[in-house]
Structure 1
Amino acid sequence: MSFAANLTKIVAGKKSELADREKIAESWRDKEAKLLDDAVDLFKQRCVKEAEQQKMEATISFEVITRDITDFPKRILTDSTYFVDTWPSGTSAESWFYATRGANSSWSQGAPILFAEVLQAMLPKFVDRVKELGFLECNHEAGTWKVAVVWEEPEKSERAPEKNKKRRRD
């Protein structure tokens, strides 16, 4: 085999390796989309509770919400640092790594993943989804996992017809 033919073979092998890594990454992207859907549903439920208390705003921690998602990666505390302990079925640290860092990155088998890195990678996507819900304001509070939203106050005219109906009856 000529040297040039060997180079062609190396390129083909690397392309195949990258395609395999992309396939591995896709398993995390699919799971992440479902996890984000679940997180938005829980966020909406918490906003409803705030609205039922006649509030027009809510500040909710993304990290706290993730605790209530059954299939979310589980964390473990080791030497004052949280690492991912278990991954959802069909995913792995490797799939998360390639999905967030790219298929060209080098993955070291067994390398621990910081739980905060998983949250940090998902947080902007979560905030984008929350923004699509039509709030007047939606902001991520810098340096926290918290997302603050504000919705519109009921118009005074919405309450006025009830008063007018009572007056008409009198």
Structure 2
Amino acid sequence: MSFAQNLTKIVASKKAELGDREKIAKRWTEKEEQLIETAVDMFKQRCMKEAEQQKCEATISFEVITREIEDFPRRILTDSTYFVDAWGEGGSAESWFYATRGLNSTYTEGQPILFAEVLQAMLPKFVEKVKELGFHQCNHEAGTWKVHVVWNPPEDKEPEKKKKKRRSRSRSR
């Protein structure tokens, strides 16, 4: 085999390797979309509870919501640092690694993944989905996992004539 043929073989091997990594990464991407949709649904439920309390805003922690999602990656505390302990069905450290860090990065089996890194990678996607819900304001509070939203208060349905009459009566007293 000539040197040039050997180089062609190396290129083909690397292309196949990247194709395999892309399939692995896609598993996380699909799982992540599902997890974010679930988190958005839970966020909406919390906002509805706030609205039932006659409030027009809410500050909700993405991290707290994720604790309640059954299939969300689970964390474990090791030496004062949280790492991912279990990835849930359809997820793996390898799939997360390639989806987040890129196909050209090299994953080492057993490499610990910081739980905060998983949350940090998902948070902007979560915030974008929340913004699509039509809030008056929606922002991530820097340095936290919290998302703050504001919606418009209900408009006063009382006709303008009645308001004027009520105001003139209260002035004449």
Where on the TM-score scale, by shorter chain, does this alignment land: which range? over 0.9
Q: CA RMSD in A?
A: 0.9
What residue ranges of structure 2 are gaps of 5+ in the alignment?
163-173
Any runs of at least 4 consecutive aligned residues in structure 1 with deviations exceeding 3 A, and if so which?
A: none
Count of aligned pairs? 160
Deviation of the 1:10 alpha carbon? 0.2
Residue 130 of structure 2: SS of its match in structure 1? helix
Q: Tell me the CA shift for residue 88 of structure 1.
A: 1.4
1:125 aligns with 2:125: yes
Q: Report SS of the residue matched to 1:156.
A: coil
Q: Distance in 1 between matches of 2:16 and 2:136?
A: 47
Tell me the residue number matched to 2:23: 23
Aligned twin of 2:80: 80
Aligned position for 1:144: 144
CA distance in 1, matches of 2:90, 2:133: 30
Pairs within 5 Å for 1:14-163: 14-157=14-157, 160=158
Mapped partners of 2:88, 2:82: distance in 1: 17
Identical amino acids, percent of aligned pairs: 75
Q: TM-score, normalised by structure 2?
A: 0.91
Letter in 2 for 1:85: D
Q: Which runs of 5+ in 1 are unaligned?
A: 165-170
SS at match of 1:38: helix
- Residue 168 of structure 1 corresponds to none
Query: Could you tell me how far apart the structure 2 residues matched to 1:154 and 1:92 are?
Result: 45
Report which of the two structures shows the higher radius of gyration computed on alpha carbons.
2
Residues 21-65 of structure 1: CA distance to partner in whole angstroms, max 9, x if unpaired? 000000000000000000000000000000000000000000000
After TM superposition, give the deviation of residue 91 of structure 1 in Å: 1.6
Separation (CA, whole Å) in 2 of partners of 1:90 and 1:37: 16
Aligned to 2:5: 5
**What TM-score, normalized by structure 1, do the two folds share?**
0.93
